[in-house]
Amino acid sequence: MAVALSAVFQATTPSQWLQWDATYRLSVLEHDSGDISKRARLYESAPIRDMQKRGWIKETNDLAELERDLESFFGCTLDDDLVFPVAAHRTIKLSDLNSAEKAWCFRARQMATALPAAPFSSERLESAEKKLRRLAAFPKEARHLPNLLAEFGICFVVVEPLPGARIDGAAFWIGEKPVIAVSIRYDRMDAFWYTVMHEFAHIRNGDAISIDTDLVSETGKGIAVKLVEDEAERKANEQAASSLIPQEEIESFIRRVGPLYSKNRIVQLAHRLKIHPGIIVGQLQHRGEIGYNAHRELLVKVKGIVIDVALTDGWGRSMTPGLL
C-alpha cells in the first residue's frame, strides 16, 4: 500500500508512508497502554481464567470490576507477595507459592471461615488423634472425618487444586480456630490419611501455618514423602507416619517378613494394628521395600467418600464466590 500511495502522490516515497502509518498506530496504542499494563498486572497476580471457571470470581472484561473482585477474594490490595492472615494481628507472606497455589490457600480460608466448630482446646488433641486413627481402619469411616474434627474445634475443607498447583494440604488458623485443608491430589488411602495426619500434627504442635506442596507424590517406585530440612515439617512428617503405624511395628515387620511381602501377611498386620492394609502398603513403598505396582488393589480410593460429606470446592460442585 505504501508503494501504491507513493506512485499516486509522486512527491512522496514508500518509506514516508510507512513512517506516517507507524506514527498513527502508535498514537492509537498510547490510549490503550494503561489498560494493557493493568491487565498484565492483574493476570500475573492470579490465575484469573481458572478462578473464573471455578466460580471464585465473576467473568468480566471490565478491568476495574475484575480488580475489585480479586481484592475482595484475597481480602487485600494486590501486590507481589499476598499477605495471608493466620491469627489475630499476624500475617504471613506466601512468597514461595505460585499464583495457583496462593489462590487455593485463600479459597480454603474463605470456605473455612463459613464453617462452625466447637471451641478449640489443645488439651483434647491427644484424644482426637486416637479417634482419627480409628477412622483410618476402613475407607467408609472417612465420612466421619469432618464431624470428628469439628467436634474438637478444627475446621476441615477440601479444595480441588487449580491447574499448576502441586499442593496437597495446609494447616492454618483463623483467629483461634484451626483449619485443615486438603486437595486429595492423589486419591489413595495412604496418601489421604498421611496428609490429614501431617496437617493435624501441625495443629497439635501449634505451628502458625503449614502449606505443603508436593508433600506426597507417586513415583516409579511407590509413594514418596517430601524430605525437608525445616524442623517443623520434619517433626510433622515423623508424627504423621507414627500416628498411623508405630515405627517399631513396621520395622519389626520388615525384619521378619521382607523381602517377601505377601498380601496375606500385610492384611494380617493390618488386622492386628487395626489399620487399613493400604496404609501399610504406602509405608512399604515409601521405604523402597516394595515396588510401585505391588498390591495396588489395597490402595483404595476415598475421595468420593470424603467430598460427599465435607465442605468441598471442585469436581463439579459449585458454590457462590463469597460462599455464605
99-119 pLDDT per residue, tens: 999 999 999 999 999 898 889
pLDDT at 324: 46
Q: Is the pLDDT higher at 162 or at 76?
A: 162
Q: Please state the domain extents for the chain.
A: 2-44, 48-313
Average pLDDT, the chain: 87
162-182 pLDDT per residue, tens: 999 999 999 999 988 999 999
pLDDT at 1 over 80: yes
pLDDT at 23 over 90: no
CB atoms within 10 A of CB 63: 15
pLDDT at 2: 83
Task: Name residues whose C-beta falls within 8 Å of residue 196's C-beta, 6 or more positions apart in sequence.
Answer: 132, 145, 169, 180, 182
For 248, the grid coordinates are 517399631
Q: What are phi and psi of 203, to 5 degrees?
A: -65, -45
Q: Determine the Cα–Cα distance for residues 161 and 79; give it in Å rounded to an integer.
A: 22
What per-residue string of b and e applies to 258-282 under the rule 16 or more CB within 10 Å gives b? eeebeeebbeebbeebebbbbbbbb
